Structure 1
């Protein structure tokens, strides 16, 4: 009994995560275009016909901008809280909408999804745990700081999509204005590499087979840096860095064993983020209701 998971994209330019079994699947967030979602799933030989719903973590545009077209085209149920729906300000809601509540399981076929509140500067932000016949996968991104609920659910998972957004030194020495640095690191922004690693080393269960490190900052982190950091402490857990440019391969997660599924075709190589932070001055502009933290 297994779950298939992949990160279709992860970063401030768009977030979308696929979790499913052989019959049905869900997306957590849809922050890339419908066309790009379809392309990436096709490359992985995943069928959109299996996707039954989108669960929305919060209203920031890098998590919701693909929803209107994708949900309308495939008539996907969009699970979203009333506060988040109101703040999302979709031009038109021409797709089916359902609400969900903290700690109350939602059943999609044989999948069970539980949402729980998280610390983030959004109106009503949630993380999710997806279960199928004893196998559990958590999607834990856009978190300002670990809370008791995060620790509780993380320690149960067989795989986790876990945010490791920024290196603290790179952020401190980088060109971002002070107010944005404070928003990122101030407790309702994002998890640093150190915070994510502390959670991982202190509460990772022995049965966790995979951790996908997600939502890396383009300017304040380095994929190789964070991969090496976590691999040193992995103790049997496979460490994967989710890309902001392309999908990961599909991972098969089971409560008993796991098998990696290779992608159908090689991925196009994309630029590697340099470890050294940029020092040139720059400006950042974000709309209040669509805040993206990098």
Structure 2
């Protein structure tokens, strides 16, 4: 069985990722408004009826902006840690709140969602791997430095949204004040193109077919720069950028597809009606 994935938005202005099979789906983070989430899913031919849960990585507004309205409107359970909930300025209704525990898979129909801790300047930050029928999709953004947990789970993925937040030279020579540059480049800030590339080269599994460069900074990175860093090392992995302005296509990821390293294939809307 294939897994269908899309980035609805990826960047400091909002993060939201769709991962599902033919029967159910989850959103990883809800950092754009409910209306914008609905609009982008309609454009992709994706049905909100398939969304069965939202998983929140941490409390920063670009990851939780739409969670309250989405959970209310669709009655969606929101999986979030107590520390993240307590520190979030936007909270889902309490009756929809569910807790998750690191490294313990949460079943959502035919999906299994596993959270794991990471280094980031938030109360209790986690990333996620979503599995369906042996196909694993990682959402690994907002990471200061790639710890052992990140390397371990990245090494399982058939496809991954991987943070490439900044280019070292662009950040160093850019307009940000020194203290902000230190925060971004620190171990609890964000991951650079070079750090992400090192993770990819060192821990990429042989069955990986797709990589989405994600959470790019508007001021300290450029899609062309990020892609150029990865292109000589990509092999037959399809590498693209998850935009901070628009949704991506829907990509179909399957075990057979991953083994063959075929190119991306947009999904027909009829699958999701």
SS in 2 for 1:73: helix
| RMSD after superposition | 1.5
How far did 1:95 drift?
A: 5.4
Q: Is the 8 A contact 2:85 2:91 kept in 1?
A: no
Distance in 1 between residues matched to 2:221 and 2:244, nearest whole Å: 12
Structure 2, unmatched stretches of 5+, are: none
Which residue number corresponds to residue 231 of structure 2? 231
Distance in 1 between residues matched to 2:176 and 2:120, nearest whole Å: 19
Distance in 2 between residues matched to 1:247 and 1:207, nearest whole Å: 25
SS in 2 for 1:232: helix
Alignment of 1:130-169 (within 5 A): 130-169=130-169
Q: What TM-score does the superposition give when structure 1 sets the normalisation length?
A: 0.87
Distance 1:39 1:261, change over 3 A: farther
Task: After superposition, give the CA deviation of every residue in 1:215-262 in whole Å (9 maximum; x if it has no partner).
Answer: 000000010111121122101100010001100001111111166343
Distance in 2 between residues matched to 1:191 and 1:124, nearest whole Å: 18
Q: Is the 8 A contact 2:52 2:76 kept in 1?
A: yes
Pick one of 241, 260, 264 that aligns with 2:264. Answer: 260
Distance in 2 between residues matched to 1:44 and 1:54, nearest whole Å: 19
Q: Is the 8 A contact 1:43 1:263 kept in 2?
A: no
Which residue number corresponds to residue 241 of structure 1? 241
Which residue number corresponds to residue 217 of structure 2? 217
Task: After superposition, give the CA deviation of every residue in 1:159-212 in whole Å (9 maximum; x if it has no partner).
Answer: 000000000011011110111111100110000000000000111111100000
Which residue number corresponds to residue 5 of structure 2? 5
Which stretches of structure 1, 4 residues or more, deviate above 2 A after TM superposition? 89-95, 258-265
Distance in 2 between residues matched to 1:185 and 1:208, nearest whole Å: 27
Distance in 2 between residues matched to 1:129 and 1:165, nearest whole Å: 20
Q: What TM-score does the superposition give when structure 2 sets the normalisation length?
A: 0.94
Which residue number corresponds to residue 276 of structure 1? none
Which residue number corresponds to residue 186 of structure 1? 186
How far did 1:10 drift?
A: 0.4
Structure 1, unmatched stretches of 5+, are: 266-294
Count residues in correspondence: 265
Q: Is the 8 A contact 1:164 1:196 kept in 2?
A: yes
Distance in 1 between residues matched to 2:83 and 2:17, nearest whole Å: 22
Structure showing the higher helix proportion among its residues: 2
